[in-house]
Structure 1
Amino acid sequence: MKVAIVGGGLGGLSAAVTLAKAGAEVNLFEKNDHFGGKMMPVNEAGYHFDFGPNTITMPEAFQDVLRQGGLEKELSFTKLTHHTRNQFKDGTIFDLSSDRQYMKQQLYRLDQKGFQNYDAFLLEIERLFHLSKEYFLHRTFSGWKDYLSPSLAKGFAQVRPLESMDHFFRRYFSHPGIIQSLNRYSTYVGSNPYVTPATFAMIAHLELNDGVYYVPGGNTKIAENMANAAENQGAQLYKNTRVEKILTHNKQATGVMAGGHTYEADYVIVNGDLLQSVPELIDNEKRASLSDKKIRSFDPSISAFVIMAGLDTTMPDLHHHHVLFSRNYEKEFSSLKNGQYPEEPTIYIGTSAKSDSTLSSEGDNCFILVNAPALGTSTEIDRERYKEKIYEDLAHSGLPIKNHVSFEKVIGPEEIESRFGAYRGSLYGPSSNRRLQAFMRPFNQSQDFSNLYFCGGSTHPGGGSPMVVLSGQNVANQILGKIVHPE
Structure 2
Amino acid sequence: MKKIIVIGGGLGGLAAAVTLAHAGFHVRLFEKNRHLGGKLMPVHLGSYSFDFGPNTITMPQVFKGIIEQTGERAEDYFDLIPLQSHTRNHFPDGATLDFSSDAAEMEKEIARFSSRDAANYSAFLKEVARLYGMSERYFFPATFQSWKDYVSPSLGLALLRARPAETLHHFFSRYFSDKRLIQSLDRYATYIGSSPFKAPATFSMIAHLELAQGVYYTKGGNVRIAEAFAAVAQKHGAILHTETEVQKILIENGQATGVVLADGRTFEADLVILNGDLLSAYPKLVEERFRSSFTDDKIRRFEPSISAFVITAGLSTRLPGLKHHNVFFSGDYQQEFDDLFSKQRYSEEPTVYISNSSYTDSDAAPEGDNLFILVNAPALASDGSLQIKPELYKERIYDFLQTYGLDIRSHVVEERVFTPVFLKDKFNAYRGSLYGPSSHRKADAFLRPANASTDIENLFFIGGSTHPGGGSPIVTMGGQNLARQIISKHKT
Question: Structure 1 length normalisation: TM-score?
Answer: 0.98
Q: Which residue of 1 aligns with 2:288?
A: 284
Q: Given the alignment, which residue of 446, 449, 457 partners 1:450?
A: 457
Q: Which residue of 1 aligns with 2:206?
A: 203
Question: Larger deviation: 108-117 or 151-160?
Answer: 108-117
Structure 1 residue 212 displacement after superposition: 0.3
2:11 maps to 1:10: yes
2:311 maps to 1:303: no
Alpha-carbon contact 1:17-1:68 (below 8 Å) kept: no
The 3-state SS of whatever aligns with 1:314 is coil
Q: Which residue of 2 aligns with 1:329?
A: 333
Q: Which residue of 2 aligns with 1:362?
A: 367
Structure 1 residue 52 displacement after superposition: 1.1
Partners of 1:421 and 1:328 in 2: CA distance: 32
Gaps of 5+ in 2: none
Q: Which residue of 1 aligns with 2:63?
A: 62
Matched AA of 2:134: L
Matched AA of 1:366: L
Q: Which residue of 2 aligns with 1:232?
A: 235
2:222 maps to 1:215: no
Gaps of 5+ in 1: none
The 3-state SS of whatever aligns with 1:481 is helix
Q: Which residue of 1 aligns with 2:416?
A: 409
Structure 1 residue 71 displacement after superposition: 4.8
Matched AA of 2:221: G
Partners of 1:482 and 1:255 in 2: CA distance: 19
The 3-state SS of whatever aligns with 2:293 is helix
Q: Given the alignment, which residue of 72, 90, 96 partners 1:87?
A: 90
Q: Given the alignment, which residue of 341, 348, 351 partners 2:346?
A: 341
Matched AA of 1:115: A
Structure 1 residue 143 displacement after superposition: 1.7
Q: Which residue of 2 aligns with 1:459?
A: 466
Instruction: Classify 1:416/1:106 alpha carbon distance in 2 versus 1 (closer, same or farther; 3 Å).
Output: same
The 3-state SS of whatever aligns with 1:480 is helix
Partners of 2:148 and 2:51 in 1: CA distance: 40
Q: How does 1:127-206 map to 2 (within 5 A)?
A: 127-206=130-209
Q: Which consecutive aligned stretches of 4+ in structure 1 deviate over 6 angstroms post-superposition?
A: none
2:278 maps to 1:255: no
Alpha-carbon contact 1:113-1:172 (below 8 Å) kept: no
Partners of 1:109 and 1:388 in 2: CA distance: 34
Q: Which residue of 1 aligns with 2:268?
A: 264
Q: Which residue of 2 aligns with 1:428?
A: 435
Partners of 1:10 and 1:355 in 2: CA distance: 24
Partners of 1:353 and 1:220 in 2: CA distance: 15
* C-alpha distance after superposition, 1:350-377 (max 9, x if no partner): 0000100001131100000000000125
Alpha-carbon contact 1:317-1:399 (below 8 Å) kept: no
Partners of 1:311 and 1:128 in 2: CA distance: 41
Structure 1 residue 379 displacement after superposition: 6.4
The 3-state SS of whatever aligns with 1:110 is coil
Question: Structure 2 length normalisation: TM-score?
Answer: 0.97
Alpha-carbon contact 2:288-2:296 (below 8 Å) kept: yes
Equivalent pairs counted in the alignment come to 483
Partners of 1:382 and 1:410 in 2: CA distance: 11
**Superposition RMSD on alpha carbons, in Å?**
1.1
Q: Given the alignment, which residue of 381, 387, 390 partners 1:380?
A: 387
Matched AA of 1:16: A
Q: Which residue of 1 aligns with 2:105?
A: 102
Alpha-carbon contact 1:456-1:468 (below 8 Å) kept: yes
Q: Given the alignment, which residue of 432, 447, 452 partners 1:440?
A: 447
Question: Larger deviation: 256-265 or 49-58?
Answer: 256-265
Alpha-carbon contact 1:353-1:359 (below 8 Å) kept: yes
Matched AA of 1:300: P
Alpha-carbon contact 1:318-1:399 (below 8 Å) kept: no
2:41 maps to 1:34: no
Alpha-carbon contact 1:71-1:225 (below 8 Å) kept: no
Structure 1 residue 481 displacement after superposition: 2.1
Partners of 2:151 and 2:389 in 1: CA distance: 48
Structure 1 residue 232 displacement after superposition: 1.1
Structure 1 residue 245 displacement after superposition: 0.5
The 3-state SS of whatever aligns with 2:311 is strand
2:44 maps to 1:43: yes
Alpha-carbon contact 1:184-1:193 (below 8 Å) kept: yes
* C-alpha distance after superposition, 1:380-438 (max 9, x if no partner): 11211110010011111011011100000000000000001101000011110111110
